[in-house]
Amino acid sequence: MREKTDREKAERIVAENRKAYHDYHLLETFEAGIVLVGTEVKAIREGRVNLRDSYARVEAGEVYVFNVHISPYSHRGYADHEPLRRRKLLLHDNEIRKLVGKTVERGMTLVPVRMYFKNGRVKLAVCLAKGKQARDKRETLRRRDAERETRAALKERQGRK
């Protein structure tokens, strides 16, 4: 068994948006911090996050993420948070300018792909994406099935020797 690197020790994936890989061509990934309240961080530590159907948008020079569902923290007292509120993403100005240019002129969208802890801070991986057509999705499924069959045939062939 190999030993984990420092990077692998530091990052702990909490939620992943697997549907995004199916619905979009993911072109470029940005790592963003996210503005949260205390009960949200505690709920994220419990793994109570859903990124499905979430998206990000640039508004007035700031990037916000919408539809990220963070369930209420289990041991909350009087303090609570709204599960589906919009949350601000923390990106550098040059990254925001780049995103504005690409999302406006080329019709691309920003899709949250992964939420994880990195050195004790919650990070969100946001991808610049272009939507797939139905035929593209079918082609991806066909390619995946062919690869699976190839791997199975190789494994079977190696087992006979």
CA distance 41 to 82: 13
pLDDT class of 41 with cuts at 50, 70, 90: confident
Task: Read off the pLDDT of residues 48-82 as tens digits, 9 standing for 90 and up.
Answer: 888 888 889 888 889 999 998 888 877 777 777 77
The answer to whether position 50 is within a domain reads yes
Domain harbouring 104, CATH code? 2.40.280.10
Query: Is 110 domain-assigned?
Result: yes
The verdict on residue 113 lying in a domain is yes
Question: What confidence score (pLDDT) does residue 8 get?
Answer: 55
Task: Give the total number of structural domains in the chain.
Answer: 1
C-alpha Rg value of the chain to the nearest Å: 19
Asked whether residue 92 carries a pLDDT value surpassing 90, the answer given is yes
pTM for this structure? 0.75
Q: What are the residues whose beta carbons fall under 8 Å from the beta carbon of 22, sequence distance 6 or more?
A: 132, 137, 140
Rounded Cα distance between 161 and 155, Å, is: 10
Q: Residue 17: what pLDDT? A: 86
The residue to which tokens 């539809």 are assigned: 67
- Residue 64 within a domain: yes
What is the extent of the structural domain holding 123?
Answer: 10-132
